[in-house]
Amino acid sequence: MKMSALACRLVTATIAATLLMMAQPGFGEGVKYKPISVKTPDGLTISAQEWGNPAGPEILFIHGFSQSHLSWMRQVEGDLAKEFHIVTYDLRGHGNSDKPLDPARYRDSKAWGDEVQAVIDAAGLKRPVLVGWSYAGRVISDYLATHGAGQIRGHQLRRCVDQGRSCADRRQPEEPAPDDVGGSHDQHFSDRGISCMAASPNSPAPTTTRPCWRST
C-alpha cells in the first residue's frame, strides 16, 4: 500500500524525534514503572504504565495523536511522581498498544471511551484526574459522553483543538462534553494513516505542563 507524501514525512519526523529524545542524557535511566496489560471491551491489548507514589492522588495522563506515553516522561521522571500516583498508556494504534488496520476500529467514539475506562479499571484507579494533551481532548470527550464524570475527580485539557480553536484548560467534569472536541475520529484515521502509525515507533514529545484541576 502506497503512503502519501505527508504520511511519509510524519513517519520520518516521528523516527527523528524518537532518536533525538533517546540521545538526551539520562533518558529513561532509573525510572521505575509497573507495566499494566489492559484488554478493551472490543478485544484490543493496550500498553499502560504505573508510576510514582502508589498512595498519592491519582492522575491518568493521555497523550496526543501520533505520540505515546513517552510524551509524559518529564512528569513521571520529575517531582510530580514523588507526590502523585501516575498512570500513562498508549492509545490504540500508538506506541506498544495493538494497531488494528481496520479503520472502523478507530471510528467508534464509545470504543475510545471504553478504552479509557479499561485502563482505569486495570490500574485500579478509584477517582483519577484525567489530563489530556492535544488529540486526547477528543478521547476524554468520548469518555465523558460514554461513562460520565462520576468516576473521576476532574479533568484538564492541554493544547487540545475544538474545530480549529484552542480549548486548553477549558472544561471540568460538571460541564457538558461537546461532540466536536478535536473533530471526528474519521478525520484522523484513514487507511494510509493507520499503516504509517503501525510502522512507527514510539514518538516522544515531552511537555513541561504541570496539571491543575478543580475537584468535584
Residue at 204 is within a domain: no
Tell me what pLDDT residue 49 has: 98
Cβ neighbours of residue 155 closer than 8 Å, sequence gap 6 or more: 129, 130, 131, 132, 140, 144, 149, 171, 172, 173, 213
For residue 53, give the DSSP letter: -
Q: What is the model's pTM?
A: 0.68
Averages of pLDDT over each 10 residues, the chain, 216 residues: 49 48 48 91 98 97 95 94 97 97 94 98 98 93 96 85 45 40 50 43 42 33
Residue at 102 is within a domain: yes
Q: What is the sign, positive or negative, of the torsion defined by CA atoms of 164, 105, 16, 72? A: positive
Residue at 214 is within a domain: no
- Provide the β-strand partners of residue 108: none
Among the listed residues 111, 143, 18, the one whose alpha carbon sits nearest the alpha carbon of residue 69? 18
Q: Residue 81's domain spans which residues? A: 5-23+39-198
Residue at 161 is within a domain: yes
Q: How many domains does the chain have?
A: 1
Residue at 189 is within a domain: yes
Cα 82 from chain centroid? 21
CATH number of the domain within which 19 lies: 3.40.50.1820
Residue 155 cell numbers, joined: 479533568
- Contact status, residue 53 vs residue 34, Cβ threshold 8 Å: no
Residue 139 host element (H or E): helix 136-147
